[in-house]
Amino acid sequence: MIIHLKNKQTLKIGNFYFKCSIGASGTTNKKIEGDKKTPKGIYSIEHLYVRKDRIKKIHSNLKIIKIKKNMGWCDDIRSKKYNKLIKIKKNIHHEKLYRKDYKYDLLIPIKYNFIKPKKNLGSCIFIHLTKDYKTTKGCVALKKKDFFIMLKLIKKNSKIKI
């Protein structure tokens, strides 16, 4: 199953179309850290990360990982853990996964710059939640009800085409 970004506001999965939002600066073939662009290409997806204290019931063909308070995703270009899941440390810049807002209550990392990540080419590219379709820093965002439908459609070998 392919998750296909048709345009800046539309995600297609099978016969389903979903409104979405992407990076504030659109899409690009030349992603760099902090450019607010969503990287073009075809990418595998990772596991489903869930705030189990907020989302009680979840059905997915993806491996489900509970988001803990000490979890982060490294966006520090000086770190060997760049674009990897980490235990939060003060000396490593990161995107916190356990947030006060709702955006990361459900998230799926997109495997962009994932295996042997190259520094400064971009990190923390996720499919995550939105309530208002405001642009992201490079991620793809869906409303919760659409995210749940997507989870029923995709498999662990699904890919996203941006």
Strands 126-129, 38-39: pairing is unpaired
pLDDT tens for each residue of 103-119: 999 999 999 999 999 99
pLDDT tens for each residue of 38-72: 999 999 999 999 999 999 999 999 999 999 999 99
pLDDT tens for each residue of 109-160: 999 999 999 999 999 999 999 999 999 999 999 999 999 999 999 999 999 9
Please tell me the CATH code under which domain 2-161 is placed. Answer: 2.40.440.10
Pairwise CA distance, residues 139 & 129, whole Å: 10
**What pLDDT shows up at residue 159?**
98
**What pLDDT shows up at residue 36?**
97
